[in-house]
Amino acid sequence: MSPIKDESDFEDMMDDLELVPDEEEEEAAEVSEIYLPYDEGEELIISDEIEPEEPLPSVLFTGISRPKTDEEWFALLQNAQAEGIPTYSISETYQEGNLIRHPLFGLGVVTKVRTNRKMEVIFKDSEGNMVKKLMAMNIIPEQV
């Protein structure tokens, strides 16, 4: 099965879902597992037991109001702790206020999520100046 590229691919995948009831509760028709066709006869099982993800570090926390200007975002970035900030990954999902470390641009803060695949990030360059970039997120590179 090829990667999902757009909303119609996702809808097609959802149409192909086969719901499988628990054996014990077959009469009640409760569903505990969903089976998806996956790569030449293999099955992908998605369980409803999801481990909570650890939240990404953020400059927005209780008592801090959302900044209205790029300069206010930059001020929060300058006061942020640099330790423990994850490296930016194009396949991750980010929210406003999340801190990221980019290999080229350095420490940054997500200032706006434009779409589910685009975000604005403000970085502090090597000279201490503010640099704003449009960056991608939620992109799964195709396996070749």
**Short-list 4, 37, 7, 8, CA closest to 20:** 37
- Please state, in angstroms and rounded to a whole number, the distance separating the CA atoms of residues 136 and 90: 6
Predicted confidence at residue 82, as pLDDT, reads: 79
Tell me the HSE value of 45 on the side-chain side, using a 13 A CA sphere: 6
**Sequence ranges of the domains in the chain:** 7-47, 70-136
- pLDDT tens by residue, 84-133: 899 999 999 999 999 999 999 999 999 999 999 999 999 988 888 899 99
Which residue, 76, 81, 82, 79, is CA-closest to 96? 76
Per-residue pLDDT band at 21 (split at 50, 70, 90): low
Averaged pLDDT for residues 77-89: 87
Number of C-beta neighbours around residue 97 at 10 A: 19
- Pick the closest to residue 16 from 29, 4, 27 (CA basis): 4
Residue 53 is predicted with a pLDDT of: 65
Q: So what's the pLDDT on residue 117?
A: 93
User: In the predicted model, is pLDDT for residue 26 greater than 60?
Assistant: no
